[in-house]
Amino acid sequence: MDLAYVREHPQHLRTFLTHQRIRETPVEGGSICRASRLTFDNGESLFTKEWPSGSPPEGFFAAEASGLRWLAETQTVAVPEVLVQTDDLLGLAWVEPGEPTPQAAEHFGRSLAGLHRTGAAAFGAPWPGFHGSSPMDNTLHNGPWHTWYAERRLTPYLRASVDRQALNSADMRLVERVISSIGADSDELPARIHGDLWTGNLVWGADGQCWVVDPAAHGGHRETDLAYLQLWGGAPHLDRILAAYQEVFALADGWRERVKLHQLSMYLLHTALFGAAFAPGVRETAAAVRQ
């Protein structure tokens, strides 16, 4: 078995994993899935993701595969090829890891700008989405962005966070004030975005490129991707990424003041998924949103 065979017969990978000797090495793959590097006899490798136990939510791996293909078809950012997609497994071309360099960061900034410039037909996507393990409402919506963002991203994650008692009533009122204050001055046409572009979803390759993985891809606001790049310490060489991006697709006035507004959706997602440990992030971010 080799990559050529996998491309031709992706449905057979599970059988070969069970009945044929393939070297399997665990790798870091995030907090949700079990990730492995499969190495064939000829030295070629494949990256796989599997649900850790039981069955994944319906459409989970299909959503990720659809997002990867949707990003890749623009021929802008580097995206691993989807080789295997089943209900319980995703197999991607292996990206040999390297080190982040200023040159790779600048190339990534320009490529990301190119991705966003391709645009999207509407906000949302033609497939049911997931952000992490949380369902993400991708129902297509013509906008404006501030209405869509409030209804389809902030409000659902806020409700889920309150329901699991990760946020209290004061937190809920604080976020609701932010939601009610979002105005048309923040609107843009839908861009084709990665949707979960924090630094953990960047793979700096040995080939000198920055590859993007684990998307929650959809038509959204391009500033969301850029705001997420600044979370939790930020991407390596972030200033180089942003400067190169601006050279290709200049951001609208006031984008820096809107960073917290875009980051709020990520913090609400985390309280919805993981509980009160992320509540301080929601409070601090919501309080910092310009109203």
What pLDDT digit, counting tens, does each position of 252-276 carry? 999 999 999 999 999 999 999 999 9
Together in a domain, 181 and 128: yes
Among 63, 93, 123, give the residue marking a domain's end. 93
Together in a domain, 13 and 126: no
Average of per-residue pLDDT across 93-99: 96
Q: What percent of the chain has pLDDT over 90?
A: 83
Q: Using CA atoms, how far apart are residues 119 and 136, in angstroms rounded to an integer?
A: 20
Query: Which pLDDT score, from 0 to 100, does residue 135 have?
Result: 95
The tally of domains found in the chain comes to: 2
Together in a domain, 111 and 247: yes
Q: Using CA atoms, how far apart are residues 226 and 221, in angstroms rounded to an integer?
A: 10
Query: Which pLDDT score, from 0 to 100, does residue 159 have?
Result: 98
Give me the sign of the Cα torsion angle 271, 274, 280, 281. negative
Q: By mean pLDDT, which of 27-36, 76-85, 240-249, 262-271 is the weakest?
A: 27-36
Q: Compute CA distances 276 → 135, 182, 184, 289, whole Å.
A: 19, 25, 31, 20
Phi, psi of 287 (to 5 degrees): -65, -25
Together in a domain, 50 and 157: no
pLDDT exceeds cutoff 80 at 29: no
pLDDT exceeds cutoff 90 at 15: no
Query: Which pLDDT score, from 0 to 100, does residue 41 have?
Result: 82
Query: Which pLDDT score, from 0 to 100, does residue 19 have?
Result: 58
> Looking only at Cα atoms, what is the longest distance across the chain?
60
Range of the domain at 11: 3-93
Query: Which pLDDT score, from 0 to 100, does residue 40 have?
Result: 85
Among 196, 207, 239, 253, the active-site one is 196
CATH number for position 27: 3.30.200.20
Mean pLDDT rounded to a whole number for the chain: 94
Does residue 41 carry a catalytic annotation? no
Cβ contact 175:41 at 8 Å: no
